[in-house]
Amino acid sequence: MAAWYYIVLTSIVTIIQSSYGTSIDYSRILDSAKGLQDWIVTIRRDLHKIPEVGFEELKTSQYVRDTLASLEIDFKHPVAKTGIVGSIGSGEPVVALRADMDALPIQEDVELPYKSTHAGNMHACGHDAHTAMLLGAARLLKEMEGSLSGTVLLIFQPAEEGLAGAKHMVDLGTLNGVTAVHGLHVWPGLHSGVFASRAGTIMAASTRFHAVVRGQGGHGGMPHLARDPVIAAAAIVHALQPLVSRETDPLDGAVISVTRLSTGEGATNVIPDTVEVGGSLRGLSEQHFYRLIERATEVMTKAADMHGCTVEVTWRDPPYIPTVNNLEMVSFVEEAAKGLVGEDRWQHLAVPTMAAEDFGFMAYAVPGAFTFLGIHNESVGSVHGLHTPRFQLDESVLHLGSALHAALALQFVSGRTQVDMDTVQSTLRDLGNDEL
């Protein structure tokens, strides 16, 4: 079914696009972006020095506002505490470009002239680059403002890492009246300068749990007088895995990883009163993901009960929904990416990733697409994964991200494309159901 829809809808999109022709000069956008490369790198490095975690992006937010002000770009602030929504042009259609600003509570382990000056915090997910690239796009688009027919919103959101900053901004109405939203993420799994995306689900739904297993502690030599929460916790670890291997369609994707198992610091000849169990639960299909959350709670309760213990489970709220890309928006990304970097640096991803993103809330609210920008480059050492203390990125690609953002906005506000919203909405639903 998925393939069938894909073929039919791809041809509809092709017809719509060809009837308007291509008036976007991608090589000109790329040249202008190249001219801003040093400016974008400076911003990225300035931000890299001052990493701030979710909803605490005070200096970062101030830096973004100062930069927007210097470009004479109007903005709204605060939106969701530290968030900013800049605006270029006027009237309809309205297209939104989104960057996230927060860092991670990780101690940086890379020696760089611009390394983190905030002990314990690090831009290990590249959000400094996302913010810098969007400011680059803002500068490109501001220079063309006189010729735009429509509005470009520049969304700088807080708290992507776990606290759903995107959802806060959507709930505050940031996307009201918006036709399309685009987001970018630097990606160490792809070669530098490659753009990649896919229609349908690109990133997983995700949540975390924290469970306290309670028994009754006692003497290590007299277990019969205690109720051992360690045995209960071990049973929980084992009971969770069949939810993936036996209760999940093998063609669907889901994963449960128990990542914390702690009996505390007590003596090793003492049975503890409690054990902490924590972990991550992810799924590609939203419905099954919610079912897994219910089942995991149930299974943990029963496994604890089997050993005379109780368990109190708390789940991260809100869970992140899957990021589902709109087919038509991805076709726009494909066109822009090929136009900017050429056919061989555009990659259609065959499968989604089990990583998650709160951009999913934006792509759920309006048609949207999330795109990866490759940064893997051995000669500059950008070979380490996101969320690791050694993460680095190949800065030479930053202007490409700005160029893509600007090009995606121009597809809507250069007067070229009148997107048929009925078509867009139906592709979203069809793909959503099929892919999930």
Ligand X SMILES: *[C@@H]1O[C@H](CO)[C@@H](O)[C@H](O)[C@H]1NC(C)=O
Site residues, Zn ion (CB under 5 A): 125
* 262 phi and psi angles, rounded to 5 deg: -135, 125
Residue 125 or 304 with smaller CB distance to Zn ion: 125
Stretch in the footprint of ligand X (CB under 6 A) among 136-144, 181-189, 327-335, 373-381: 373-381
Residue 126 or 229 with smaller CB distance to Zn ion: 126
Binder of residue 396, out of Zn ion, ligand X, none (CB less than 5 to 8 A by kind):
ligand X
Q: Contact with ligand X (CB under 6 A): which of 49, 77, 115, 191?
A: 191
Based on the number of CB atoms within 10 Å of its own CB, is 260 exposed (0-12), middle (13-18) or buried (19 or more)? Answer: middle
Reading the block at residue 400, the tokens are 């490409």
Instruction: Tell me the closest approach of the beta carbon of residue 186 to ligand X, in angstroms.
Output: 13
What is the C-alpha separation between 238 and 161, in angstroms, rounded?
28
Instruction: Tell me the closest approach of the beta carbon of residue 396 to ligand X, in angstroms.
Output: 5
Residue 133 or 277 with smaller CB distance to Zn ion: 133
User: Cβ neighbours of residue 190 under 8 Å, at least 6 residues apart?
Assistant: 196, 347, 372, 373, 374, 375, 376
| 379 contributes a contact to ligand X by CB under 6 A | yes
Contact 300, 229 (CB under 8 A): no
Residue number of the CB closest to ligand X reads: 192
Residue 158 or 193 with smaller CB distance to ligand X: 193
Contact 160, 100 (CB under 8 A): yes
What H or E segment, with its residue span, contains residue 183? Answer: strand 180-191
Binder of residue 192, out of Zn ion, ligand X, none (CB less than 5 to 8 A by kind):
ligand X
CA-only gyration radius of the chain, Å:
24
| 346-348/195-197 β-pairing | parallel
What H or E segment, with its residue span, contains residue 363? Answer: helix 359-365
Q: Contact with ligand X (CB under 6 A): which of 396, 423, 425, 426?
A: 396
| 193 contributes a contact to ligand X by CB under 6 A | yes
Binder of residue 191, out of ligand X, Zn ion, none (CB less than 5 to 8 A by kind):
ligand X
| 151 contributes a contact to ligand X by CB under 6 A | no
| 377 contributes a contact to ligand X by CB under 6 A | yes
Residue 123 or 376 with smaller CB distance to ligand X: 376
Reading the block at residue 150, the tokens are 């429509």
Stretch in the footprint of ligand X (CB under 6 A) among 185-193, 214-222, 321-329, 357-365: 185-193
Binder of residue 201, out of ligand X, Zn ion, none (CB less than 5 to 8 A by kind):
none
What is the C-alpha separation between 129 and 397, in angstroms, rounded?
10
Residue 352 or 374 with smaller CB distance to ligand X: 374
Binder of residue 125, out of Zn ion, ligand X, none (CB less than 5 to 8 A by kind):
Zn ion
Type of residue at 141: L
Place of tokens 């929504």: 85
Instruction: Tell me the closest approach of the beta carbon of residue 397 to ligand X, in angstroms.
Output: 7
| 383 contributes a contact to ligand X by CB under 6 A | no
Paired residues of 153 in beta bridges: 87, 96
Which of 203, 99, 100, 119 is CA-nearest to residue 159?
Answer: 100
The residue ranges that bind ligand X (CB under 6 A) are: 191-193, 377, 379-380, 394, 396
